[in-house]
Structures are given as structure tokens and as C-alpha cells.
Amino acid sequence: MRRIGITGGIGSGKSVVARLFAALGVPVYDSDSRAKWVMAHDLVLRAQLLAAFGADTYGADGQLNRPYLARVAFADPARLAQLNALVHPRVGEDFAAWSAQQAAAGHAYALKEAALLFESGAYQGLDKVITVFAPPEVRTARVLARDAHRTAADVARIIAQQLPETERLARADYVVYNDDSQLVIPQVLALHQQWARE
């Protein structure tokens, strides 16, 4: 089974494109939601996060205090690197177990959706990588329309902490253009037809 990564900057349309592949029956692993799951359920990781980020990391209900962690992590690259160093290896293990199940189920390929596929090194375990492209101004407008709690400054800071668009495009095996320059569904269908039968 081929393991294909799908990445792109915040608001590029990774989730929309991943949902199109899912509609075609392709298994999709969402790194963002799985990262939050392991942060909430892995007891060793919980202890590490509490030691690194303090008691406010989890609320009284035991749930991850995402606004607190976002504020601390996104304000300081060193703290963000510390968070990533704790979380990403666990997400890698979780993905390995998940993708083995998909291979056993007989799928021709599976997708791993991750905002930080290159930044986290997770691309190394994959056969190919798709980058979903949209220019920063389009991505910012989409995120502001989607996330009421985010300001333009928040989005700019997150974009600044992510890989430059040019590098994400150069390192991709395939690009899905989600910048209104062309329809997205035909691009997804063309890639699916290439992998579904191999």
C-alpha cells in the first residue's frame, strides 16, 4: 500500500481536498485531530506536557487547554519546537499503527493529512507528498472567514512559523492548485486514477 502525504499552509484547503479523496473511499489520517487525541489520552505524553508547559496545559475537565497551549507555543519558536518534539513522535507511532490496518484491509493507498509534514519530518515515512497550494492572502481570508477566534495577526504569525510556500511547492511530488485558478475535483480525480489501480 502506498502512503501519500497531503500538506499545505494554514487555510490552503488540505481538509477540503482530503475529504474529496475520502469521498472516493480513500482512508485519510488527520494528523491535527490525532495529535490532539494522543495529547489527551497518552498518559506518558500528558505527563511530559504537564512537566514542560505546566498545570494549565489541561483544564479541570482533563481536556487539553488548546487556547493556553496555542498562546504559549505560537508566541515562542523554542516552546513550539519543544511541543513538536514531544508530540510528533507519538503521532508518527499512531500513524504507523493506523496505516498497517489500512494495508491489511487491502487499500491501494492511504493519505496522511498534516499541516507540518515537512517541518516535522513525517514526509520521510511516505511514498509521495501532495502540496495543496493557495497564496497567503487567499489562505488568510479563508481562515478569518472560518475561525471567528482568530485575528489576521494570529494567522500571519502561524504562516510565519510554517514552511515558506515556495519550499512546500518545491518539495512536493504533486501540487493541487486550490487558488481558484482551476477546478479542484478534476485534479483529485486524476491523482486517484493514478493510484487507485496500482
Contact positions toward ligand ATP, by CB under 6 A?
8, 10-16, 115, 142-143, 146, 178
The answer to whether 128 is a known ligand-binding residue is no
Collapsed DSSP state (helix, strand, coil) of residue 128: strand
The answer to whether 36 is a known ligand-binding residue is no
When the beta carbons of 120 and 178 are compared against ligand COD, the nearer one is 120
Binding pattern to ligand COD, positions 36-75, x when CB under 6 A?
x--x--------------------------x--xx--x--
The answer to whether 13 is a known ligand-binding residue is yes
82 contact choice in ligand ATP, ligand COD, none (CB below 5 to 8 Å, kind-dependent): none
> Is 30 a binder of ligand COD (CB under 6 A)?
no
At how many degrees (to 10) do helices 66-75 and 77-104 cross?
120
- Residue whose C-alpha cell is 487525541: 37
> Is 161 a binder of ligand COD (CB under 6 A)?
yes
- Binding part of the chain for ligand COD, among 32-40, 42-50, 104-112, 183-191 by CB under 6 A, reads 32-40
At how many degrees (to 10) do helices 66-75 and 152-161 cross?
60
Q: How far is the CB of 183 from ligand ATP (least distance, A)?
A: 9
Other Cβ atoms less than 10 A from the Cβ of 182: the count is 10
When the beta carbons of 127 and 147 are compared against ligand COD, the nearer one is 147
User: CA 58, CA 50: separation in Å to the nearest integer?
Assistant: 8
Q: Sheet harboring 128-133: ordered strands across? A: 28-30, 109-113, 2-7, 128-133, 174-177
User: CA 149, CA 67: separation in Å to the nearest integer?
Assistant: 10
When the beta carbons of 158 and 188 are compared against ligand COD, the nearer one is 158
141 contact choice in ligand COD, ligand ATP, none (CB below 5 to 8 Å, kind-dependent): none
Collapsed DSSP state (helix, strand, coil) of residue 148: coil
Handedness of CA 156, 145, 7, 49 (dihedral sign): positive
- Where do contacts with ligand COD occur on this chain (CB under 6 A)? 10, 31-32, 35-36, 39, 66, 69-70, 73, 80, 83-84, 87, 114-116, 120, 158, 161-162
